[in-house]
Structure 1
């Protein structure tokens, strides 16, 4: 082995978790996250070797933890980083140009389907630029067509994709934003025995929720049966239409899970996005976990912007992007308050007493 190969191996050993953590616990739709990752890998050679090592490492650690969702995350990060490296890290993304490009592609397709340009312009004027950066043109078209055809404006719109998206089933919720919306959605999905692997929480300029979730069955497969999709959609529409939804009783902790003890850990990380805080949560993967977390966010006056959900056996390792009700980063006191509330609510004794 020559010196160059030796340095490459040493670098891979030192950074073997970087790609896995970035793909599974960071918002890879954020250009700043991808740019930061690109600066760490430095070039296409390091990127390719790290990609291969990451896939091999996940499969070797526990082959049951590998699924098409994780594969899609790693592929998305790989190709996004490739584009940044090819373009040159010193050339920032032109956000306005990307928004215009996405809108032009979508508009061309939707006009072909018979929608009116004026209606599209009015709709999109209500949405922030971030919305067009986070979604692909096919998703933007799916949302816009459904919203414009949705006649009951005061009723929630719930869309469930008929085809697998990035290894999972995409769920889109559009309705007037309100307290505990995330917790309500999570509670309904938990009662349907569905797992959530990704959440992208967004609000329009006029306070409408534009929330997307990637959901899977307990066996890691997409939610694909038509009767299953219809059941999930109707349950969500009913819960979101209620004036005062209450979190239901959750499923009991299974006998298989009761012997495990996973101490709840909450840590805050430095955020690259201004006005946001990044939080990692490690806890027992108990029934209703995300609904309870969402409820605690509400009680602590904290807004959820995005979530990445990772479950390894009995252990949940979840990442959340947060901000205060005022749109600011959490200060030290707010972080401590949230940490204490989560730890108190999610320890095993409390979980068992609730059930």
Structure 2
């Protein structure tokens, strides 16, 4: 419907001043009424009464406006349609109306109707309007499913019985062509497209309460379908038809009211018709619902958990009803017998037993086993799904189950499609019943930008990543995982570790430690051998260890590898932990996993395997590491036609530490870059880390000058590249060897390496007086302020100061930090950049411009300058 007011036209007897006064009176009265509704909302009044009260108040003013503008004898009728027609009017919802005109009556009264709609807009009502004859309603509905649906909810405001009958006849299925089959198919396809827009999940950090999966629109869609398929006008009538259970109706109504209350409150705190529960409004809405001045993260997380659980329940009932509607239209079809007392009904898995599952968890596990053995099934039959839902309260948890029932659960993990089975169990509520701790994290979100899924959905994403390791076709996101998977002794142990790794989130305390206790109890309760139990327990306790070491420590340092290898202790643990870490990071956020992290974890695993093979009692000495790297790099150069003497001459121009910290292929690449360049000349080279990988390595060799690191960092930032790691080494003859590992800030656009080389070379040929670009902070970051933490420590060798920074991430942050370091005349020797959602945790090795560690005055000055820059950003 049109949503903008037409220009007001003068009509006979039209008094503009009187209209202006009336509109002002109506606007003030409606604002006062809305304020009263808001106060009633805050006092906990039933949301349905509030919605109806607003619709009633608006009705009165709409009727008054009609009386002012439309002659009493005009052959016109007025209907409320859409949500207004249903009497569900939220604080800032549009007012959709239909003016039903007799044949040829619309044009003569166009001016009057234009004045009406303009007057309503002046009164503060956002009007969507249409003027149609009955025949036009029929034609428009036939061509547009949305029109057909909106007019189904038509409610007479100013209409005779004859008008009501005329509209009903115009919208009859035999006239519009929307048969039960056509309407059902159209609405189901429309719902699928709508769900796809939101990633087919309700578990978005900023969910849409109206149109998202499991939102209010899904409930409306079910009611519209019920009317088309069964001719009923409410869910209650489906009970008598055997299509809806009393418990299902109560559940659906409960969740509809919960969602409606959230939407009503969202309109109030947003001050507009906002349907997306954005970060901007989550704290304000949580505070309003809990009657506090300001909500903390815990209150936000509690509110959001309520939404996610409501949406999940709506989706479950949605699936069942869609199937029942389809079955009513197409018929039940023939039953096909399957094993273990199950049958196929039109491709859906069903039980023959009418009183299944008799509170028997073993029979429930039999169902999931049969489902896994029949991969072609369309899903679970609605009758069986309903029986399962009704029996959940009577099913035991694993602690109350018999030993053979616990074994049946383990059999599912060892059988076909174990992760798909766990997903099905989670969606249907069985997993939370069997493992109550999982029910506690179902729908639990964390109010940050690092975790973009609820805990349960993140856990399932981790399990799906683990399942992908077993696929015949290697997942291109993981370079080595498919090679490690076949060596696992018992893959189900990795699944158990994935299932429990975050299960203690939100309890307070260290979730890794608490989860490890849960995992041990579960494994012991299911009769796993002590060695298997200990492995799962250790994996849950240490599931963050490998990620932390890889991202926050220098894994080219033999001492770091030795400490990590000592913690891991054996190669089996290493392989399990490597796969769990890959799956965990990739399952946290689609943007968190990248080629750089893949390379880091692969390199850490490779180095640790060598350390374990060598024996922890024989750690690698620096001299041995240097000699090994030299030898391997010399062999790589020989393959490129560089003889040993020339290779050693190139190595002599490189810092000794390059052989200690660098990989052989990296050293060989750098040496080749120096081959045709005289000593003292600037060299800039950029290469991909691997073919097809969205990550670059940047090498800069240049005479040393203050500000080099800052100029490089700012230029890379301006080129759309985010630095992940930086190493600045001092070479012979007062030269520097800087290496940067970078990723594109926008993964859709990888800058051309040759273009980057030219930009850097041009900057380094100049004065190095480069300043960071000023950019606006993204909206979502403004709501996640991290209090800056700045720390200083002495490096292990005493040569440098280790400077750590924890702060809110924002575009250009590293460039700003580098600029501050230059202004303080400090030199960067190493940098590791780690970003976790809205939080950055960066570590730098610094010295003053004389290459000495920083003294207290220098540390204080740096701290003050950085805090000023962070505040300004």
How high is the TM-score relative to the length of structure 2?
Answer: 0.37
Spell out the pairing of 1:1-355 with structure 2 (5 A cutoff): 1=524, 2-110=529-637, 113-115=640-642, 118-150=645-677, 155-162=681-688, 164=690, 168-220=695-747, 223=750, 228-268=752-792, 271-331=795-855, 334-347=858-871, 350-351=872-873
Cα distance 1:244–1:7, how it changes in 2: closer, same or farther (>3 A)?
A: closer
More displaced 10-residue stretch of structure 1: 22-31 or 240-249 = 240-249
Cα distance 1:116–1:46, how it changes in 2: closer, same or farther (>3 A)?
A: closer
> Hey, what's the Cα distance between the residues in 2 that align with 1:218 and 1:85?
37
> Hey, what's the Cα distance between the residues in 2 that align with 1:248 and 1:344?
15
Q: CA deviation at 1:334?
A: 4.3
Equivalent position SS for 2:675: helix
Superposed CA offset, 1:315-354 (max 9, x none)? 322222334445454455544443333222112xx12xxx
Q: CA deviation at 1:188?
A: 0.8
Equivalent position SS for 2:764: helix
> Hey, what's the Cα distance between the residues in 1 that align with 2:866 and 2:559?
29
1:263–1:284 contact (8 Å) kept in structure 2: yes
> Hey, what's the Cα distance between the residues in 2 that align with 1:133 and 1:167?
26
Equivalent position SS for 2:690: coil
> Hey, what's the Cα distance between the residues in 1 that align with 2:546 and 2:624?
28
1:99–1:133 contact (8 Å) kept in structure 2: yes
Q: CA deviation at 1:216?
A: 1.5
1:32–1:272 contact (8 Å) kept in structure 2: no
Q: CA deviation at 1:129?
A: 2.2
> Hey, what's the Cα distance between the residues in 1 that align with 2:549 and 2:559?
12
Cα distance 1:42–1:107, how it changes in 2: closer, same or farther (>3 A)?
A: closer
> Hey, what's the Cα distance between the residues in 2 that align with 1:48 and 1:115?
37
The alignment covers a number of residue pairs equal to 345
Equivalent position SS for 1:201: strand
Q: CA deviation at 1:284?
A: 2.5
Which of the two has greater helix per residue? 2
> Hey, what's the Cα distance between the residues in 2 that align with 1:304 and 1:258?
29
> Hey, what's the Cα distance between the residues in 1 that align with 2:742 and 2:721?
7
> Hey, what's the Cα distance between the residues in 2 that align with 1:61 and 1:88?
34
Equivalent position SS for 1:40: helix
Unaligned 5+ residue runs, structure 2?
1-523
Which of the two has greater strand per residue? 1
> Hey, what's the Cα distance between the residues in 1 that align with 2:794 and 2:536?
28
Cα distance 1:120–1:336, how it changes in 2: closer, same or farther (>3 A)?
A: same
Cα distance 1:176–1:70, how it changes in 2: closer, same or farther (>3 A)?
A: same
Cα distance 1:220–1:134, how it changes in 2: closer, same or farther (>3 A)?
A: farther
> Hey, what's the Cα distance between the residues in 2 that align with 1:330 and 1:78?
34
> Hey, what's the Cα distance between the residues in 2 that align with 1:305 and 1:289?
18
Cα distance 1:112–1:259, how it changes in 2: closer, same or farther (>3 A)?
A: closer
Cα distance 1:207–1:283, how it changes in 2: closer, same or farther (>3 A)?
A: same
C-alpha RMSD of matched pairs (Å): 2.8
- Structure with higher RCO (Cα < 8 A, 6+ apart): 1
> Hey, what's the Cα distance between the residues in 1 that align with 2:685 and 2:870?
31
Cα distance 1:109–1:40, how it changes in 2: closer, same or farther (>3 A)?
A: closer
Unaligned 5+ residue runs, structure 1?
none
Equivalent position SS for 1:234: helix
> Hey, what's the Cα distance between the residues in 1 that align with 2:719 and 2:727?
20
Equivalent position SS for 2:673: helix
1:67–1:220 contact (8 Å) kept in structure 2: no
> Hey, what's the Cα distance between the residues in 1 that align with 2:641 and 2:667?
16
1:265–1:343 contact (8 Å) kept in structure 2: no
Q: CA deviation at 1:258?
A: 4.3
Equivalent position SS for 1:64: coil
> Hey, what's the Cα distance between the residues in 2 that align with 1:198 and 1:191?
17
User: Which structure would you say has the larger Rg?
Assistant: 2
Cα distance 1:107–1:47, how it changes in 2: closer, same or farther (>3 A)?
A: closer
